[in-house]
Chain A
């Protein structure tokens, strides 16, 4: 019985081991590509420039973070790397700007209505004065300008958070226009971090759990064997006594 349990556990362990080695091979491939792309970017870079630690941002914040979960059905944890869109600080500023923009929008609408009324009044008065249609259009154009300018004023407020979001990309540490190999290196790195590494560490945790179970089962088997041997010895002694 114990033998069968151990065999089953070892089978499971070998399956996990196979997955671990194949994932490691995949990681090796991705890392090799990443190093090659980094080397290409460094080769094509300006003289004296190197894509390395000199350009790191000292205030960097992680945009990809680990999420550990312990499924109720199993005892070993599963790891996941997820992209965090914005941190709390950015979200609050964004909310503020959204509120500010909604307020300014309502103000704009109100001012637009007011201006339209003023414009209508002006048109009416101009019609009353029996002026040509050109004068009315001229007035409309004049009144349209403040609306456009107020709309322009609101635009920079809404574009601020977008700029903040962009600056979170680690590629920006190396300048606004980055070479293609560097972007390819980033894509490979993201793939490794999001897909391969979490699976590798989850499998590692699974293997550690199976190891514990195998050792427990082996201990149990050793105890059972020792107990069987003892009972055999007692039986043989009794036979000799008889």
Chain B
């Protein structure tokens, strides 16, 4: 059971996605940059040049290091690149949600939640 200390300060949404996904979500006002000198962003724009290690580092930062993130949104095609990390992530906070991107429509077969469902029903 989650204690209040686990989620009390988790007030931001984080995004790992392509430029259009991040721009779209930031338009809703979820973007946040912490005060200097850290100036940590709660989003990562991923393009063709972004290395998997950088995506993994951002995911680790949002899920383990930072204690102010409540929800992590990640494009499904980017989640595929770090699938092993997504599938083994079991913590209650922050919660991870896979979202579709412009060029890669949502595939339920790949969704970590629906993979969990299949495991429960013994498939």
Chain B residues near A24 (CB-CB < 8 A): 106, 108, 111
Total number of B residues with any Cβ neighbor in A under 8 Å? 45
Residues of chain B within 8 A (CB-CB) of A120 are none
Q: Which residue of B lies closest to A215 (CB)?
A: B120
Give the distance in Å from the alpha carbon of A61 to the alpha carbon of B116 in the complex. Answer: 35
- Is there an interface contact between B7 and A77, defined as CB atoms closer than 8 Å? yes
The segment from B22-30, B50-58, B77-85 found at the interface with A is B22-30
Give min CB distance, B80 to chain A, whole Å.
17
Stretch at the interface among A90-98, A104-112, A154-162, A205-213: A205-213
- Chain A contact residues: helix, strand, loop or mixed: helix
Q: A35-B20, A193-B13, A214-B120 are in contact. Are A201 and B95 (CB under 8 A)?
A: yes
CB <8 Å contact, A192 and B19: no
Taking the closest CB of chain B, its distance from the CB of A93, in whole angstroms, is: 17
Chain A residues within an 8 Å CB radius of B108: 21, 24
Q: How far is the CA of A193 from the CA of B101 in the complex (A)?
A: 15
Q: Are B32 and A61 in contact (CB under 8 A)?
A: yes
Q: How far in angstroms is the closest Cβ of chain B from A57?
A: 8
Residues of chain B within 8 A (CB-CB) of A194 are 28
Residue A53 lies at the interface, judged by CB distance under 8 Å to chain B: yes
Cβ of A193 and Cβ of B23 under 8 Å apart?
no
Bits for B22-56, please: 1 = Cβ < 8 Å to A, else 0: 11111111111100000100100100000000000
What is the chain B residue whose CB lies nearest that of A190?
Answer: B28
Interface residue tally for chain A (C-beta within 8 Å): 57
> A197 touching B73 by the CB < 8 A rule?
yes
Q: Are A192 and B28 in contact (CB under 8 A)?
A: yes
For B106, list chain A residues within 8 Å (CB). Answer: 24, 28
Chain A residues positioned under 8 Å from B95 (CB to CB): 79, 201, 204-205
* Minimal beta-carbon separation of B55 from chain A (angstroms): 16
Contacts A31-B24, A70-B7, A190-B29 known; 9 new A-B pairs at CB < 8 A: A56-B31, A60-B26, A63-B29, A169-B29, A171-B27, A190-B27, A200-B97, A201-B97, A205-B92
In the assembled complex, 22 residue pairs joining A and B whose CB atoms fall closer than 8 Å, in A order, are A20-B113, A21-B108, A24-B108, A27-B100, A52-B23, A53-B19, A53-B23, A53-B45, A60-B26, A60-B32, A61-B33, A62-B13, A63-B29, A68-B10, A75-B1, A79-B95, A169-B29, A190-B27, A193-B25, A197-B71, A201-B71, A201-B95
